[in-house]
Structure 1
Amino acid sequence: MTSNEPIKRKLVIVGDGACGKTCLLTVFHLGRFPKEYVPTVFEHCVAEIRIDGRYVSLSLWDTAGQEEYERLRPMAYPHTNVALVAYAIDSPDSLENVTTKWIDEVRRECPGCPVVLVGCKQDLREEGLARGEPASKYVSTQQGDEVAQQIDANRHVECSALTGHQVDKVFEYATRAALFSGALGYGKKREGKESSSGCCIVL
């Protein structure tokens, strides 16, 4: 690899269905919030990111959280360099599932892979609390921090795809973590072809 060639890394995002994974990726690589919710089966995009003066070609792999896609999801894991484990801030159950389901799957499929815990839909908590809704309806920052420590995540980041708050931070932290992993990543090679589309992002 020459100095002008980007460093190749792969990111996979997992979490409950409708927790905000696809919206987060869409806002990051397309710069717009999706108008309607369409459940993901498999989506893959390659984003070129400049970070600390280095270009990184980051493959972004979206996955389905629904149970009916349990057998398909492992196909996304081979050669992963960093995993985003997502939950919805307006759904405490989705954070609980991080500890009871998602982190176990990531550790099983990609032992040693760095993890960034991502709280999506931060704007809903702010709006709800402003309306006087009970705080127990939402995941607090402290609760997310505690789970991040419990699962040994590299980072915990709260964000809002709708407002764009901290979306770039999520991928900055993820890319930095990915750069410390080996070029081949983690996880076993599985059968199947990879396809990609391109986009360019500068951090």
Structure 2
Amino acid sequence: MMFKRLRSAIKKNDSSQCLEADRRHPLPAVNNPAMVVATIKCVVVGDGAVGKTCLLISYTTNKFPSEYVPTVFDNYAVTVMIGDEPYTLGLFDTAGQEDYDRLRPLSYPQTDVFLVCFSVTSPASFENVREKWFPEVHHHCPGVPCLIVGTQTDLRDEAAVREKLAKQKMTPVMKQDGERMAKELGAVKYVECSALTQYKLKDVFDEAIVAALEPPPKKTNKSKCVIL
């Protein structure tokens, strides 16, 4: 019941400016810093080309990128209203390629919640949630809540996608597969969305905010990632 009330109180301030932060300085608040109650740090991880950047750009700007440009590290900020109180939601985009395996964890300190992403059209990226991303996140940030996010749901039923996967004797990842993995790995929840159509897009970030603000059961203090 508490979670339901919190979700219903979340409202993104669409009139606020979304900023790409200078990587050398702290993430800026979008509006008057004196008005912001707190900053929630959300880090997005997952294989390259699964739609992490599109997810963030579509959510923060209501626009879908027209071309793919591999991310190194980008930061975004939006103001979200929780009840009558403004929070800054700091969104950290990371590179999924192996070349950045040593650099990527530099984004992890002080993280409040992780979004571990895969594409529903890529069973390999789904398996890497288990094989790579959850182990990496939990190694560096034990106890920090994680959501598993299935992206590109608008492509799941496309004939060309299914035909391509069928040639490899594979099928798209279904919702029940994601829910099963979330339960097995101890993720807070499985959510899926389309950055292109914005189907369930806001729900992803609402759930991330809830996970960051509401401590898990049987824990008295909220975990936060610290790398020494």
TM-score band, normalised by shorter chain: 0.7 to 0.9
Once the two structures are superposed, the pairs formed by residues 27-176 of structure 1 within 5 Å of their partners are 27-128=58-159, 136-176=170-210
Q: Is the 8 A contact 2:155 2:161 kept in 1?
A: no
Q: Where does the alignment leave 5 or more consecutive residues of structure 2 unmatched?
A: 1-33, 216-220
C-alpha deviation, 1:47, in angstroms? 1.2
Task: Say which SS state the counterpart of residue 80 (structure 2) adopts.
Answer: strand
Mark the CA change 1:52 to 1:129 in structure 2 (over 3 Å): closer, same or farther: farther
Structure 1 pair 130–75 and aligned structure 2 pair: CA distance change class (3 A) = closer
Which amino acid in structure 1 is aligned with residue 192 of structure 2?
E
- Percent of aligned pairs with the same residue? 43
* Higher RCO, 1 vs 2 (CA within 8 Å, ≥6 residues apart): 1
1:48–1:58 CA contact under 8 A, matched in 2:
yes
What is the alpha-carbon distance in structure 1 between the residues aligned to residue 54 and residue 161 of structure 2? Answer: 24
Shift of 1:137: 2.1
Q: For residues 122 and 185 of structure 1, what CA distance do their matches in structure 2 show?
A: 30
- In structure 1, what is the Cα distance between the partners aligned to 2:73 and 2:109? 14
C-alpha separation in 2, matches of 1:79 and 1:184? 9
* Displacement of 1:183: 7.6
Q: Shift of residue 129 of structure 1?
A: 8.8
In the alignment, structure 1 segments of 5+ residues that lack a partner are 190-203
Pick the structure with greater CA Rg.
2
> What corresponds to 1:180 in structure 2?
214
TM-score (norm 2): 0.76
Between stretches 30-39 and 4-13, larger displacement belongs to 4-13
CA distance in 2 between partners of 1:185 and 1:25 (Å): 22
Aligned length: 188
Paired with 1:93 and 1:131, the residues of 2 have a C-alpha distance of 15
* Secondary structure class of the residue paired with 1:137: coil
Q: Do the aligned partners of 2:50 and 2:119 also contact (CA within 8 Å) in 1?
A: yes
1:2-47, Cα deviation, whole Å (9 max, x unpaired): x943221100000000011000000011110001000000000111
Give structure 1 regions of 4+ aligned residues with deviation exceeding 6 angstroms: 129-133
CA–CA separation in structure 1 for the residues paired with 2:162 and 2:127:
25
1:55, CA displacement in angstroms?
2.0
Deviation of 1:186 after TM superposition, in Å, equals 1.6
TM-score, structure 1 normalization: 0.85
User: What CA RMSD, in Å, does the superposition of the two structures yield over aligned residues?
Assistant: 2.4
CA distance in 2, matches of 1:131, 1:16: 20
Assess if the C-alpha contact under 8 Å between 1:120 and 1:159 holds in 2: yes
Q: Distance in 1 between matches of 2:68 and 2:152?
A: 14
Larger CA deviation: 172-181 vs 71-80 = 172-181
1:53 is displaced (CA, Å) by 3.7
